[in-house]
Structure 1
Amino acid sequence: MLIRRKSFLALGALGATSAMLSACGGGTSEDPAAGGSSDAGGASDAGGAEGAPQRADAQLVIWADEKKAESLQAPAAAWGEAQGITVAVQSVANDLQTNFVTANQAGNGPDVLVGAHDWIGNLVQNASITPVQLPADAADKIAPIGLSAVQLDGQTYGVPYAVETLVLFANNALTDAPSPASIEELVSAGQAGGAENVLSLPVGEEGDAYHMEPLYTSGGGYLFGTDAEGGLDPSDLGVGKEGSIAAGGKIGELGAQGVLKTSITGDNAISLFTDGKAAYLVSGPWALADIKAAGIDFTMSAVPGFEGMQPAKPFAGVNAFYVAAAAKNPAYAQQFLSDVASAPDVAREMFAVNELPPVSLELQTELAAGSPELIQIAELAEGADPMPSIPEMAAIWKPLGQAQANIVGGADPAEVMTSAGEQIAGEIGA
């Protein structure tokens, strides 16, 4: 599975793949962070790339990746002081999800985990996290996408604090339609603007199902159906069915027009846009710094769908706090999560160090003037679908991405989508 993106949030699909093996035997995420672990008081301990750190000697221990651990240290320490307890925030440089599952099973893991929402299915399957109780007014304080992302089988498993999704960036110098209403309008305006590339959307030789999801859903494709309770039903696999074939046909048309190209990958998609070689870019908040540094006059909007077809639905990725099933101090862990959900104080301090689109509605209002693009992305995420959090999602990425890349290259949509569906069904037993 190749999802090439420099993401702010841990996507978790790669981690879920390896952790699912643990479940059975028992996003590209952010670039792996380097360095050791540190607690909220600033003391460091050895851990690093070899695996998980030794649990810190504190009454509440939190594990996160390096960037989030850094942003969490000060607010976690302040919270601990207010409660009269010691709090340690430790960073796990690599394979956070897998290391957490292993440490939890061994009884030497943290009390709280910070990770992507699409880990939930695997973590529940491995009995690694426990449901949490949100405040009664959570729906008034947290954006709907955040709340829906942390639900599984009618249970709430985390407290969300940040979100990301794909959006459309337009170079205003290269198009007179900065917010196109359809893919067809985008193509027409991009061609008229004379850019070397109409659209920079990562495909690559092996595909990129994450970035292709808006086009796939607009064309009629889906991944999993839903059961009577509204949860995802892995027995109802959409890949290989009529809708996915129709979506493949639309994707193939864009390939034939040269709008989608396998030569555009996660390694060059953003630079093509910042170098003025593409009129439009499909990417996320991780692209903002490069776009601004290049001095591009840009507009952001929702990724459009095909004319007369379904709305484009990119994935939304949500980061959340979880309570470890084997927490040594579950009461402190639950209280910490409840306080994070009740007020934006912790998320506000985290944002000051690591700017992620927040799901706190109060924080969105506070930051709208100073960080308008990030808040716009948070708002656009409301039109996205939460990344499926069931473990079966790990089997989707590679076959679907490869099928889409082959279609862009000229392969028959019916043949390759049917084959991809059969491969996925064989892996998940659908």
Structure 2
Amino acid sequence: MKKLSSFLLVVLFLFLAISLTGAQANKITIWCSEKQVDILQRLGEEFKAKYGVSVDVQYVEFGSIKPNFLTAAPQGKGADIIVGAHDWVGELVVNGLLEPIPQFKDQNQFYKTALNAFSYGGKLYGLPYAMEAIALIYNKDYVKLPPSTFEALISTAKRINTAYKGKVRGFITSAAEFYYVSPVIFGYGGYVFKETPKGLDVTDIGLANPGAIKGAKLWKKLVDEGILTPGDNYQIMDSMFKEGKAAMIINGPWAVKAYKDAGVNYGVTVIPALEKGIVAKPFVGVQGFMINAKSPNKILARDFLINYVATKDTMYKIYLADPRLPARKDVLSLVKDNPDIVGFTKSAANGIPMPNVPEMASVWSAMNDALNLIINNKATPEEALENAVKAIKAQIKK
């Protein structure tokens, strides 16, 4: 009798396990931040009506998504899909927590920059939906036709400085912040970590190569020519543009609402070419969907992404709910009436994805220090950048 009771308990346990597994097989759980909740819930309802698979969209504060996922995913728990930043990819892949996304229909409709951002070791680990990058923002009351080259930017800025006798700055941006200087560093061939078929080589740092040095010299020229001052920073740039005291700046899409609210007659376009035929290449941040490699539902999650979310119609719906720079080229064609989005997206398309490896954390302070030394004439570009690379390598080894 005792053996029979034990047998029945085992059978009951197996029945419950099979039932639970079956229930999970018809459900996908997504973790996302606040801005994506409503649209993903609506898309989930459409997906369930069409395919019979439920989509449970759960709000998680953006800064908690990755750490929560790192804790839950190794145990096969947590979300089947997370929505987050491309620079999470390196850490998550190294920990074996992301499932590669196979080649899919219309993949060539996505900007290469966006796909590269979610690639690691030659494989794609995320479906991008939005990008972010800086661009040239100009006040149309002072600049009718934005400059197409840095040479034209310098001459335009000088003309405005002279005409308004210093009361209006022709051009201003954050002078010693690597994020804002990076377009000239990368445009001439500098790089943070070398791209290889197996991923980024963090031992090969190109921030003191001939291209990086040439870019730093061009940036220093802006100071030497009196266009920028060593003390120019983000706060000064932002407030001057809002007050109509700056004609041209380099800033990102997060800033334009305040400029619009301030009544500035502004336009957005790509950062001027460094020389004719040599485009500026800003850092690009990308948001996208990533699949839990430990999830029992990863096949369903993959199908949901590549056969439903990745489509033009769905990506457009996501854009309408959260208007960021679209990762699909053909979605941009649907929003041509928004010149801000068009200008920033074209700038992002020229750009370089922010390295998606943890070692990137070692770069910022070293490069900011180097730029400060350069624009304050305390070190040559060669010396400052070489020392920055040494500092980065030493930090990575710790």
Task: Report the TM-score when normalising by structure 2.
Answer: 0.83
**C-alpha distance in 1 between matches for 2:301 and 2:39:** 18
| Alignment of 1:200 onto 2:168 | no
Q: Which has the larger radius of gyration?
A: 2
Q: What is the number of equivalent residue pairs in this alignment?
A: 368
Tell me which of 119, 123, 126 is aligned to 2:88: 119
Native 8 Å contact 2:279 2:350 kept in 1: no
Deviation track 1:132-175 (CA, whole Å, cap 9, x = no partner) reads 12424321x32333333322222111111112222111112223
Cα deviation digits, residues 95-154 of structure 1 (max 9, x gap) = 432332222234332100111222211221122211012424321x32333333322222
Who is 1:240 aligned against? 208
Cα shift at 1:200: 2.7
Q: Does 1:419 align with 2:387?
A: yes
Matches within 5 A, 1:171-320: 171-176=139-144, 178-193=145-160, 194=164, 196-203=168-175, 207-218=176-187, 220-227=189-196, 229=197, 231-307=199-275, 310-320=278-288
Aligned partners of 2:95 and 2:328: how far apart in 1? 29
Partner of 1:385: 352
Indicate conservation of the 8 Å contact 1:110/1:324, yes or no: yes
Matched, 1:91 2:59: yes
- Specify the alignment match of 1:11 in structure 2: none
SS in 1 for 2:249: strand
Separation in structure 2 between the aligned mates of residue 328 and residue 262 of structure 1, nearest angstrom: 55
* Aligned counterpart, 1:34: none
Structure 2 distance, partners of 1:379, 1:310, is 15
Q: Deviations over 1:243-292 (max 9, x none)?
A: 33333333223233443345443344333212111111111222222222
2:170–2:227 contact (8 Å) kept in structure 1: yes
Query: TM-score scaled by structure 1?
Result: 0.77
Give distance in 1, aligned partners of 2:59 and 2:375. Answer: 40
- Structure 1 residues 68 and 266, CA gap change in structure 2 (3 angstroms): farther
Are residues 1:130 and 2:99 paired?
yes
Aligned counterpart, 1:361: 329
Q: How many Å apart are 1:429 and its aligned residue?
A: 4.4
Structure 1 residue runs without a partner (length 5+): 1-55
SS at match of 1:223: strand
Distance 1:309 1:134 in 2: 32
CA contact (8 A) 2:185 2:213 kept: no
Q: Which runs of 5+ in 2 are unaligned?
A: 1-23
Greater CA drift, 124-133 or 191-200? 191-200
Change (3 A) 1:208 1:107: farther
Query: Bigger CA drift: 246-255 or 301-310?
Result: 301-310
Paired residues of 1:162 and 1:318 also in contact (CA < 8 A): yes
- 1:398-421 Cα deviation digits (max 9, x unpaired): 211221133223321233222211
SS of aligned partner of 1:186: helix
The alpha carbon displacement at 1:341 in A equals 5.0
**How far has the Cα of 1:310 moved from its partner?**
4.4
SS at match of 2:248: strand
Q: What residue is the counterpart of 2:126 in the other structure? A: 158
SS in 1 for 2:355: coil
- 1:125, 1:86 → 2: CA distance? 30
Distance 2:282 2:51 in 1: 40
For the aligned residue pairs, the C-alpha RMSD in angstroms reads 2.7
> Structure 2: how far apart are the matches of 1:85 and 1:350?
20
2:50 corresponds in structure 1 to: 82
Partner of 2:12: none
Residues 1:182 and 1:362: Cα distance change in structure 2 (over 3 Å)? closer
CA offset at residue 303 of structure 1? 0.7
What residue in structure 2 maps to residue 400 of structure 1? Answer: 367
Contact 1:340 1:347 in 2 (8 A): no
State the alpha-carbon separation in 2 of the partners of residues 224 and 313 from structure 1. 15
- Following TM superposition, where does structure 1 have runs of at least 4 consecutive aligned residues deviating by more than 6 angstroms? none
| Structure 1 contact 223–237 (Cα < 8 Å) conserved | yes
1:149 maps to what in 2? 117
Aligned residue for 2:303? 335
CA–CA separation in structure 2 for the residues paired with 1:99 and 1:407: 41
Identity %: 29
1:298–1:323: structure 2 CA closer, same or farther, 3 Å change rule? same
**Aligned counterparts of 1:137 and 1:313: Cα–Cα separation in 2:** 25
Structure 2: which amino acid aligns with 1:186? Answer: L
Q: CA, structure 1 residues 233+375, in 2 after alignment: closer, same or farther (shift >3 Å)? A: same
Letter in 2 for 1:299: G
Residue identity opposite 1:164 in structure 2: E
The AA in structure 1 aligned to 2:112 is P
The answer for the alignment partner of 1:104 in structure 2 is: 73
Higher fraction of helix: 2
